[in-house]
Structure 1
Amino acid sequence: MTTYSPDPSNVAAYLVVALKRLSAPCEEQVSILEGIGVPVDELALDFDSAVHTLWVLSEAGLITGELVAPLNEINGLLSAISGEENASYWTVAALCHEDVWNEVRQRSQDVLRVMSENEALAAVVDGVEADDPRY
């Protein structure tokens, strides 16, 4: 039986794009979302999908707990505002004005900074943009 293992460089790029989208200023986030035709919650959905593939990067030796913990914290912030009872957080107005979104932006920037200092990940961080249509 053949097992499938995703390419770590693609997984890293997907994670970096998700982080760059989360860390972008609100106006840029809105432009990206409008450009790809998706609602605000897609920012969290893409990031959540990326977090669920961290095992690939861990197995490849590309990330350690130094990155996993803050990535899980960001995911926790987004999970805390999920659900129908929190629908007000998933609007363009909230994206631009709610404190939780500013916290998500800052933490995402912090993780990207750590990733850019990692020799194995720096090229990925520099090589993809938040509006990359491949991701």
Structure 2
Amino acid sequence: MQDIQQSLYPNYTLLVQAALFLVFTFLIHRLLVKPYTEVIEEREKRISDNLEKARELQEEATRYLQEAQQILEKGRQESNAILEEARKEAQRIARQMLEEEEKKAQEDIERAVAEMRKLLEEEKLKLDKELQKVAEELVRRVLKEVA
């Protein structure tokens, strides 16, 4: 019967062991698990912060890249416009120079034609004088022979 009584009443050693186990668990939790958990949580927070920062930096880099591409495209368009304007200006200047040279050439031709006409008139006058002298000489000879 004593065995039954002992089994009905709790063993104080068991209670002390259970209490010591709970104290040990509490101390392990307090001294090891809690600081370890805090370190892990802090590391996870730092990692997530770094990932967020990296994502923000990537977005910023993408935005800067897009801005740079827009600036490059705008620069390309402006340089093409400047080149086109320069090409048109060069064509206009070439056309103007060609017109000036054609005008000078036309003036030179007109001057040469006027000079040739003048020389032709002078030669014609000389020829008329020569012809008149020949005609006078011919008339004199005919009059000499007739007389």
Normalising by structure 2, report the TM-score.
0.17
- Between 1 and 2, higher relative CO (CA 8 Å, sep ≥ 6) is seen in 1
- Whose Rg is larger? 2
Normalising by structure 1, report the TM-score.
0.18
